[in-house]
Amino acid sequence: MAIEQTPKNELPPKYYLEYFNYVLDFVQEKYRHILNEGEWRFLRKYYCLSEDAQCLFIRFSNRRGLFFRVNKLAYSELTDIPALLNELLEREFIESLNPEKHKTFSKEMLSVWTTKELVEQFSKLHTEKKTTYKKLKKEELVEAILQDFELAQIVEVLNSFEPIIKVCFEYEVTFMKFLFFGNRYLDMTEFVMRDMGLVQFETHDDDKLVARFNTRKDAEDKWLITDQNDLFSQLKDTAPALDVYDWFMNFADSVNDLSEVAKPSYERLIIKVATFLEKSKLLDEALLVYRLTEQVPSRERQVRTLQKLNHIDEAFSLCQQMIEYPKNADEKFYAIDFLNKLNTKKRTKKSTTSWLHQAESITVSIDFRHQVEMGVVDYYHQEGKLAVFSENHLWRAIFGLVFWDIVFDPSLVAFHHPFQRRPSDLYLPDFYEKRKDLIISHLDTFADVQDLLVYMGERYESKFGIANPFVVWLEEIWLIVRKAVELIEFEAMKKILHEMSKNLVEHLRGFPDLFMWDDIAGEYCFVEVKSPTDNLSNQQLSWLQYFQEIGVNAKVLRVYWKENDTLEEEQSSQQSTVDSSQ
């Protein structure tokens, strides 16, 4: 669905009504089987409102907060707001302040007023407090008012100054949007961005989009984990670390039958909580929480924590598992280095350090000390070679163009609404398992490099500008992509693309910084640039080793600084000044 646009992409006055009604229609079609009576009641009552009353309610729902000052409401497309407020009040879409009904929202109702207004109104009842109130920040002032007055008094003061109302059906509306987007982070601005031409999305027929949640429990479990994430964000800043541990373990005991759709979010929460406990020096507690998941970097953090607790045998055993079944390069090389250190009983070099120390080196002007990669580009240009920044975006672009149709295939049950920039399982193990045969057969359809380039070029032209997780839409990206694909041996290129697809979370990072080539000699090389203080990461080492294994030219290049004449003169002058002053 897309609303009619003017040539300037100006939105019609009631654009938000079309968006909201589209969401409701979509949710009823895809989630009819899981809506409860409260949500159906909201829908029945909503459709009985006049169009303008619907508009005003949507205006409220799209803004932050639940309380609104009546005298501040002004929308050019709505001409009789008092009449619309009366309609919404009669139909129970808004309600007047009520000290009993709204006691859990006391801070929210006070927050719609300015600090100056609060001081003015509440110091009338306690004139001796005026000086104290004036010195407080708004958050502190709200707390002080809640301590100094009964809620009934507060409501009376607010209503006497200016009427305010609370919006109803806040849960139902939020839940409808949650079902539509599949999370609570996207909102209705996605519609605006699309129809203003700010973002282009891959288009799918609505009938090919599938529900994100198959059951009510799926949706409620995903909602629950989102709530717990928000709660943890508050607790880690306000509660003692041991209390946070007790809260989380009690929660963990209650979610043994968590829905599959909610588990990835839950495991990310586990890592966040365990990391917080580890940083808070609660090592035993952190270890217990880490053990609730094997998601990266849980096992590595367990080994580090076991070592701090002097449980070396357990750490040794876990490292052996990590080497045999690594989840990423960080686990693999960390475990190898850990065991090497234990076995030799003395200080050993890390795998990344050993590789770095064997690397080729060059010197470049110290003028490049804050942009070392640019210094290497300049070095190659002086040798008559071409070099560009490539790092991850080159390989991501190649991957995105080659596998575009597979990534955005709605038949694989991973697209749930019109604004998805990527399939919902893109960074889950299921992504590769569900598409393994498709990926392999797709790569086999290309007879040679020219065949591959023609296919990629067609995707680049036809899909240019569409939002996706891989391709940065710059004119020069296609030139670099084409050159890399032309120079890399065809079978090696296919192996790299297949390897990337196996674990997109890990394998989309760690590629060398630069792509260098010589058109005359027909040579190329991927170059990982390291200044004197840089270290090689495990994922970078993993790709360098893989490239070496399959015959792709790649290397580490260590850069040392060469003092230029100007700098030497400045340093000499500065030294002379120091000497003369002494």
Q: Would the pLDDT of 374 be above 60?
A: yes
pTM of structure: 0.88
Of the two residues 73 and 4, the one the predictor is more confident about is: 73
Q: Would the pLDDT of 5 be above 90?
A: no
Q: Would the pLDDT of 4 be above 80?
A: no
Q: How many CB atoms lie within 10 A of CB 480?
A: 20
Averaged confidence pLDDT in the chain: 92
Residues 316-339 have pLDDT tens digits of 999 999 999 999 999 999 999 999
- Name the phi and psi angles at 559, rounded to 5: -115, 130
Element (H, E) at 339: helix 329-344
Q: Would the pLDDT of 543 be above 80?
A: yes
Report, as an integer, the average pLDDT of 105-119.
93
Degrees to nearest 5, angle at CA 77 with 71 and 79: 55
- Name the phi and psi angles at 198, rounded to 5: -80, -30
Residues 98-110 have pLDDT tens digits of 999 999 999 999 9
How much of the chain, in percent, has pLDDT values that exceed 90? Answer: 85
Q: How confident is the model at residue 564 (pLDDT cuts 50, 70, 90)?
A: low
Any residues with CB less than 8 A from the CB of 508 and at least 6 apart, and which?
392, 395, 396, 399, 500
Note the helical H segments in 241-311. Answer: 241-253, 263-279, 283-290, 298-308
How much of the chain, in percent, has pLDDT values that exceed 70? Answer: 95
| CA 341 to centroid of chain Cα atoms | 36
Q: Would the pLDDT of 40 be above 90?
A: yes
Tokens of 171: 């849960």
Give the separation between CA 318 and CA 411, rounded to whole angstroms. 40
Say if residues 299 and 311 touch (Cβ distance below 8 Å): no
Q: Would the pLDDT of 229 be above 60?
A: yes
Give the separation between CA 577 and CA 520, rounded to whole angstroms. 51
Of the two residues 457 and 4, the one the predictor is more confident about is: 457
Domains of the chain: residue spans and CATH: 15-208 (no CATH), 216-349 (1.25.40), 357-565 (no CATH)
pLDDT at 429: 85
Give the separation between CA 529 and CA 507, rounded to whole angstroms. 19
Q: Would the pLDDT of 352 be above 90?
A: no
Residues 142-199 have pLDDT tens digits of 999 999 999 999 999 998 888 999 999 999 999 999 999 999 999 999 999 999 999 9
Preceding peptide of 418 cis, ω within 30°: no
Q: Token match 């939002």: residue?
A: 467
pLDDT at 347: 64
Say if residues 174 and 64 touch (Cβ distance below 8 Å): no
Residues 168-179 have pLDDT tens digits of 999 999 999 999
pLDDT at 346: 62
Say if residues 477 and 397 touch (Cβ distance below 8 Å): yes
